[in-house]
Chains A and B, each alone.
Chain A
Amino acid sequence: MSWRVFLGSLLIIFIGIRATDSVGLAWPVLTTAADEVGKDDLSGWDGFCRQVVKPQLPDERVIGYQEPLLLAANTDQARNDLAYHLSLLQYSLAPTLVEPTPDHRVVIVVSPSGVQVRIHGGR
């Protein structure tokens, strides 16, 4: 095998690798880091739950969760949406456990109009 063939094979490898990755790896080099800051929408939700919802919660380890979807979660899409919202809420409110039933003293209600915390009865 000549060195030309060898170099050719190297080129094939390199082109192949780059071709698989025309967007994935090349563009971020050109993207300034500053442009990406603030695009993480979950950080906003996480901060909201910590600063607004969490202070309203009494010291209970399990709270209920309710949203309109919960009542009509009989389609795949509704179930997926519910799982997604519940997962985000659970992530942000940990270590408080969130259960998708409204049968608790403290219930978080998520609706299109916003997030509310309902507390039934006193301690």
Chain B
Amino acid sequence: MLGLLLCLVAPGLAGWLLVQRAWPSRRPVWRHALLKGTLALGWAVGASSCSFFAALVLGAATRSTLLVAETAFFLGMAILVAWAGRRTADMLPDEVGTVTRPRYWLRGLLFVLFLAALASAAAKLTSGWLRQQHGEWDARAIWNLRARFLYRGQDHWTDGFSSLLQHTDYPLLLPASVARGWHYLGFETTVLPGLLALAFTLATVGLLSSAIACLRGTSQGILAGLVLLGTPFFIQLGTWQYADIPLSFYILATLVLVCLHDGSPGARPALLTLAGSMAGFAAWTKNEGMLFLGSVVLARVATVAPGSGWKVLAREGRAFALGLAPVALVVLYFKGRFAGANDLIAGQGLLDIIGKLGDGARYAQVGQALVQQRAIEPLLLLPLVLYFILLGRARVPRLRSGVLLCLFVLGLMLLGYAMVYLVSPHDLTWHLKTSLRRLLMQIWPTAIFTFFLFTATPEEALAWKAALAAPPRLAD
């Protein structure tokens, strides 16, 4: 237990101070604390998996060396950040985009529903872990297997990238985090990957709820969390210990930070720097994270350059790159030095790919799969559509660029997924059947985030109604 605490404390403290530095609050509010806590957790797991990988490469991945070196590194960083943060005077308002009077009875009602769904999801995650302590197929064949090689392999840890194994090009955030935890504990346990899966699943819910609460109001935030908690396949993926959930967390975290930046009064480049780190961690989690990284950069260029100009874009780009660069170096080093060939590209010529892109039947098959597999339950989508019709569109100009960015990213990600399927060298039916629903879950929390950013809040809807009902005031 002490090992687990030591493994978390130093990177967790550094992560918390980094987030606090990027976004100081006027006073402690639950939504701020939850938002910062989930972001700090994500940063801590990502950064410590990078430091563990560095220790492996340097041949220093022993318990005592890790304990001393990582604690010194992360505490040093924490002290530096705390010292630099003293000079930050300007604070953000408690809620960025909400101006309406809170309705406490409504919050209370929603909060009770949220707690019920949260308890249900936590029970599902726990019982799922008890039933499958080693996770589902991909967890055993890829993520936890790789963690075993990193931990048990000692000097031969690179055997985990042998051509005898599959998907050796997959990045290491998850396996390195599990193996690092085992090093700190001094023994292997299935509790650790289970806890990590639970933490990422619930942290994604917490991040979504708190981000919407900060940007659009508490009731809206609780509703957003309720929708994610009520997505059965999302919770199921958490019990399977797949990397799709951590990836969905980092995708959401990146876009939340950019939206907070855009919605804040005054320039806050530290939020973009943190967003850069989160985007890097997405690429360090799964190959689809690289697609996301490309998408978010392209979407930012498309949404900022026309309105604000290239100078603003360059300034933002520098802040983003500052956070991204260290993680990108780790990913590039891993890809160049250890990763095997990608199964989607290897063995395919340009003519093969062009031939598949020209095959209309493949487009139809991908489209059909989207409908037939019911990737997102229609019974979940329909209430959201009704909700939007009833409440209408939000009127917060400050968040317009954030919404546009999210929509761009979601569109580009969907386009990227479709391209992968269209040129896939595998049997397309099998490929779609085994992965489509998982891929959509990677962007589902972001889709919910965008929806509740874009839709009016319950308080706004009630305020408009009250304004319409009020008698007209005479001019002075």
Contact = CB atoms under 8 A, between A and B. Distances in A.
The answer on A and B forming one complex is: yes
B156 A95 contact: yes
Contacts of A90: 141, 145, 165
Given A25-B230, A37-B130, A3 B379 contact: no
Given A28-B123, A95-B156, A13 B384 contact: yes
A54 to B, nearest CB: 11
Assign chain B's interface to a size class.
35 or more
Contact residues of B: prevailing secondary structure? helix
B461 A33 contact: no
Interface stretch (B42-50, B88-96, B385-393): B385-393
B417 interface: no
B412 to A, nearest CB: 28
Contacts of A5: 390
Nearest to A3: B462
Contact of B127 (A14, A21, A28): A28
A65 to B, nearest CB: 10
Interface string A1-35: 11101100110111111111100111011010100
A25 B386 contact: no
A33 B160 contact: no
Assign chain A's interface to a size class.
35 or more
B76 interface: no
Contacts of A17: 117, 226-227, 230-231, 380, 383
A94 B162 CA distance: 12
B120 A91 contact: no
A12 B386 contact: yes
B144 interface: yes
B387 A25 contact: no
B148 A95 contact: yes
Interface of A: 1-3, 5-6, 9-10, 12-21, 24-26, 28-29, 31, 33, 36-37, 39-40, 42-43, 46, 61-62, 87-88, 90-91, 94-95, 97-99
Which 6 pairs from chain A and chain B are nearest by CB?
A17-B230, A16-B383, A24-B232, A36-B130, A95-B153, A94-B148
Interface of B: 109-110, 113, 117, 119-121, 123-124, 126-128, 130-134, 137, 140-141, 144-145, 148-149, 152-154, 156-157, 159-160, 162, 164-165, 190, 223, 226-227, 229-232, 235-236, 377, 379-380, 382-384, 386-387, 390-391, 458, 461-462, 464-465
